[in-house]
Structure formats: C-alpha cells, structure tokens
Amino acid sequence: MKKNRILALSMAALMTMSCLAACSSSSSSTASTSDSSAEASTEAAAEGTSYYIGKVPITLSHSVHGNDAKWAAVYAAEEYGATYEVIDPESDLAKENQAIEDFIAKGVDGLIVHPVVESGVNESIQAALDAGIAVITYYMDATEVEVPFVAVDEAGVAKEMGTDMAKQWKELYPDEPIAVGFVDFLSVAITKDSRSGPFLEGVKTVEPNLTGTAMELNSAGEELTGATFWLAGEGDLTTSQAIGQDVLTKYPEVNLIYGTNTANALGCLSAYEAVGRGQAEDGVPLTEIFAGTDGDASELLKLADPNSSLKYTLGMQPQTFAYAQIDTIISVLNGDIARDDGTQIDVSDVYLNYYKDSVQDMEDWFNVQYLPETPLDIAAELAK
C-alpha cells in the first residue's frame, strides 16, 4: 500500500548512534530521519516559522510512549522552535478520536497519530486532512487513508532473536525438543506481523518441525503455525500472570516463551518464578528461556540478572522514535514529504542479548533512550 520507503537518519539521532553501535554487537540497526529534511526544517525554524504539533499516542502510561512524548517535546522545541502538545487517549479508541477532534479545533499545523486500532481512526484522520492539517501515523498505520507513516521495523530483529534463542536452547539441551509459547496482543495484527510471527519464523530455521497446534493469522491472512500456545496478554500484567499460571499446568514442556511487551513477558515470568521456574544459574536457563520487548528498566534488570531466564529482548527506542516522528511531520509541513502519498519512514528496535551485550552497553543505551531522572545502574539495582 505504501508507495515510498525511507530509512530515516536525522542529524539529532546521529548523536546517539555511537552508543547504539556499542550496545549491540548483533546486527541490530538504528534509524532516524533525512539530513536534508532536518537542514531544511532547521532553516525554516531559523526564519521564524513556529509550527504547532499535536500528538495522540496510544497511551502515556507505557514507558516507551511516555518517554517518546518527553523527547519529542524537547526535540521539537530545540531543533525546530515548534510547540508540541500531547493528548493521552489511555488506549481507548473513542478517546483517541475525540483527541483528534480536539486538535482540529485547536488549529494545530501538524498531527501525529498512533492508532489504538489500525482501522479505528480513518474518519478522524480524514477530518483533520480536510481541515488542512498535515497528518502522519506512527507504529500502526491507518487502513484506508494515505498519509506518511513512521514505521518501527521489528521483523528482522524479532526473527534474529527467535533464531538465537532456539540455537541457545539446542546448545544447552540438545536432547530436549523445542516448544514455543507466546503471550501476545491478539486484538491487533501488527505484533503478529512484526514480533511473534517473525520470531516463530526464526525458531523454525533451527527447529522446522514444531508440533504445537496453536495457530494465528497475520494481516496478510497467512497461517502462523507450530506454537504450543498463543494467548492474549494484551499488555496487562495481571492477565499475563494468569496466563503463566495456566500454561505452567497445561504446557509444562514449553521452553521458549516470548512476551511481546514488558507486561506480557514479566507477568508470565512472575508466575513461573512463583513456583521455582524461570530461573538460571550463572546465565544458563534451567527449564525455559524468556524473551520480551521494550527494554525498559524492569526488563533490563531481568535480562542482566544471571539468575533469571529472561535473556533476550527487543529494545524500543523512545528517543530515536520521537526524533523520527518530529523530523517527519516537519518535513511534511515544509513540503519535503507529500501529505497524501503514504510515504513510509522506517526506524528500528535494537536487539539486546544477555550473551552478546554487556551490562554497560545496556545501561548506556537505556540512559540515552529512556530519559530517566536518575541514570540506571544495573549492578547497583541487582545488588539490592
């Protein structure tokens, strides 16, 4: 559906690339927006152009999206002299559409929308376009209206993570067959397209004959088969804990478990830990390996802990994502990117792996991306 794809590289994001290169010795990549766009937009700011940009995230309560908004406000003001305002819909589609209407009434120049549901914001986005407002979508695209889209390219690193986890298991326990379980978001297609589906594909490069009977469909209608369980944690810690308690009884043989965000991963893991599973000795998982997505502080503390079986995660990058969104909406406002041709700008997660990345690497990456009030000191936290 997208006509153009751009790998985004902004001048501001280049400041973080040396840290990111250091903290991922795997093939993870970082991205931002175009140098030419940034230069043109900086010139516009210097000439006195002051844009008013609205953002409707999926939620601000999640650490990735909340810190994304903090970074965006700083970057929009410092790099472009722009005003940036956020209205939090709290993961509620009706509130999200109302927030878009509110920004139309406020007369914003540009609007960034992270849909709660891909198909739920088409009419509201069209209303904003009809009002002369430049609109871009982020992370999840609208399904019927063509606007520029800042996409987080996660599939490649998710597949790599699945491959590495399967190889690690086979190296540790060559006589134990691999069985895979997912604690996922089943209310939207994107996680199956970009996280759990590619992860499963990676596992199958090591173990092609998975015997699990769980099946999900991706957005293309393709069947994703081979997992033993594939359940809806929906980013809720309590729900994911209950899933963990249930699958421990029903599927004790599952040894690769992927929770597709922090709550999905740590909720399930906590249920395992409560009965003495989810453990490792000197970094060697004893009964299963967990993986997560987000790379927030709570997840990194488990990842770095040699006694925890969570040993892999996809690190979402609030600073990088915020810069890409601001660079893109400014480029649209300045006419460098067309408002209606569906140009896609790609940014990426970073893949963090206990066996490849040092504690210092993880800290350096987190303390840049997540804008903590107090820098994370993993060793000090684990020593408590």
CATH number at residue 93: 3.40.50.2300
In a domain, residue 358? The reply is no
| Residue 62 pLDDT > 50 | yes
In a domain, residue 364? The reply is no
Q: Clarify whether residues 170 and 299 are in a common domain.
A: yes
Beta carbons of 315 and 16 less than 8 angstroms apart: no
Range of the domain at 82: 5-147+317-351
Question: How does pLDDT run across 264-322, given as a tens digit for each residue?
Answer: 999 999 999 999 999 999 999 999 999 999 999 999 999 999 999 999 999 999 999 99
Q: Clarify whether residues 47 and 87 are in a common domain.
A: yes
Q: Clarify whether residues 41 and 84 are in a common domain.
A: yes
In a domain, residue 375? The reply is no
pTM, two decimal places: 0.86
pLDDT at 118: 86
- The mean per-residue pLDDT over the stretch 137-156 comes to 96
Q: Clarify whether residues 326 and 243 are in a common domain.
A: no
In a domain, residue 379? The reply is no
Q: Clarify whether residues 286 and 345 are in a common domain.
A: no
Q: Nearest 5°: phi and psi at 55? A: -130, 130
| Residue 26 pLDDT > 70 | no
In a domain, residue 68? The reply is yes
Q: Clarify whether residues 39 and 175 are in a common domain.
A: no
Q: Clarify whether residues 245 and 296 are in a common domain.
A: yes
In the chain, the number of structural domains is 2
In a domain, residue 309? The reply is yes
Q: Clarify whether residues 82 and 230 are in a common domain.
A: no
- The mean per-residue pLDDT over the stretch 75-83 comes to 97
In a domain, residue 26? The reply is yes
For 253-287, letters b (16+ CB in 10 Å) and e give ebbbbbbbbbbbbbbbbbbbbeeebbebeeeebeb
Helix axes 122-130, 93-106, angle to 10 degrees: 0
Residue corresponding to tokens 């990549």? 29
Q: Clarify whether residues 160 and 293 are in a common domain.
A: yes
Q: Clarify whether residues 142 and 21 are in a common domain.
A: yes
Question: How does pLDDT run across 353-374, given as a tens digit for each residue?
Answer: 999 999 999 999 999 999 899 9
Q: Clarify whether residues 340 and 276 are in a common domain.
A: no
| Residue 19 pLDDT > 70 | no
